[in-house]
Structure 1
Amino acid sequence: MPKPTAEQLAAAHDRTLPDVVGPGLSVLFCGINPGLYSAATGHHFARPGNRFWPALHRSGFTPRQLHPSEQWELLDYGLGITNIVARASARADELTREELREGGRKLTALAERYQPEYVAVVGISAYRVAFDRPKTVIGPQTEIIGGSKLWVLPNPSGLNAHYQADALAAAFGELRAAAGLPSA
């Protein structure tokens, strides 16, 4: 996958990515919104330095580290990807509170439609706004979303210095174990 040019990145603003979703999912991972790099390449969590794909592998969700271009293989493992807000932006702080809240409603509808066992939001700050839960902590939540259990994970962005690779993989691994999935 070639690195997008500056022109391609600029043109990716406000693009959307298709959800990687289907029936029978164990976990539907939900990002905040696509970054410009992801929108330019057409693949979720595609920016070099994003730790989503390494965390999936290191936590035992996948037997090897998938490349973002292999995102559709997640369905074979009972996993999917969506976003709270569909439109791409350079930074998540470009999103409005109303966009995040509307995204929470759309995520609930998606969960109702596909009924994954778990919806795992990767990004606690966006979750807090989207679902009006300002005191949420990382981990399992008591709320049910569209019939699915809810889990909040740390943001895998390389900019999230609060969680180093080992801690991020451990957080993802707790979800895998709770979902009853064997280590791949």
Structure 2
Amino acid sequence: MPPSKGPSRSELLALEGSTLPDLGGPGAVVVFCGINPGLYTAWAQAHFARPGNRFWPTLHRSGFTARLLAPQEQHLLPRHGLGITNVVARATATAAELSPAELRAGGELLRDKVRTWQPAFLAVLGVTAYREAFGARRAVIGLQQEVLGRTRIWVLPNPSGLNAHYGLPALAALFAELRAAAGVGRPEA
């Protein structure tokens, strides 16, 4: 766990291009897929760790977890059938630094990973990233027609605090639709 004092700018910049291990894998019911790790997340070595990211509060409010988990408690998710990965593994200051070609290549790697893991659902967090990575130009939020083996794909809004289009209640409602479809939720974590 990182120290309570946050990282310096130089510490964050030194993490450019670093990676974060996937969480979960085979046996997951739902694998959440971010666009790529941010520098703060790489520093914390915990998915969606940047203060202001609404992933963890949304997971709780939508009923996936019985209580609000801190990013450093991510290790509790696999025992409840949940996992986390990213379209692109390398950390950047912003997702805007990723090229369309990098997102498409990440989409191919993600397809292979999902075919190996075989979760019931892949939940891609960000419709724009999904469109680019999967070549689905007209995709919208919700269940997609494309299936990867036995895995159904569900697109959700990006929970980043920078995504002003969706407040926490709206995010939680959309995540709850996936939770109900997946038949998981409110584990004792």
TM-score bucket of the superposed structures, by smaller chain: over 0.9
The residue identity in structure 2 corresponding to 1:118 is F
Is 1:58 aligned to 2:68, yes or no?
Answer: no
State the match for 2:101 in structure 1. 98
State the match for 1:174 in structure 2. 177
Match of 1:67 among 66, 70, 91: 70
Q: How does 1:31-50 map to 2 (within 5 A)?
A: 31-50=34-53
Bigger mean CA deviation after superposition, 21-30 or 42-51: 21-30
What residue ranges of structure 2 are gaps of 5+ in the alignment? none
Is 1:149 aligned to 2:149, yes or no?
Answer: no
Q: Quote how far apart the aligned CAs of 1:70 are.
A: 1.0
Percent identity of equivalent pairs: 58
The residue identity in structure 1 corresponding to 2:26 is P
Is 1:115 aligned to 2:98, yes or no?
Answer: no
Contact 1:119 1:145 in 2 (8 A): no
What residue ranges of structure 1 are gaps of 5+ in the alignment? none
Distance in 2 between residues matched to 1:133 and 1:142, nearest whole Å: 10
TM-score after normalising by structure 2: 0.94
Distance in 2 between residues matched to 1:110 and 1:161, nearest whole Å: 31
Distance in 2 between residues matched to 1:146 and 1:47, nearest whole Å: 33
Contact 2:65 2:185 in 1 (8 A): no
Q: How many residues align?
A: 184
Superposed CA RMSD in Å reads: 1.0
Contact 1:109 1:146 in 2 (8 A): no
Contact 1:32 1:84 in 2 (8 A): yes
Distance in 1 between residues matched to 2:113 and 2:127, nearest whole Å: 19
Contact 1:111 1:147 in 2 (8 A): no
SS of the residue corresponding to residue 134 of structure 1 reads: coil
Distance in 2 between residues matched to 1:69 and 1:183, nearest whole Å: 19
Distance in 2 between residues matched to 1:59 and 1:30, nearest whole Å: 17
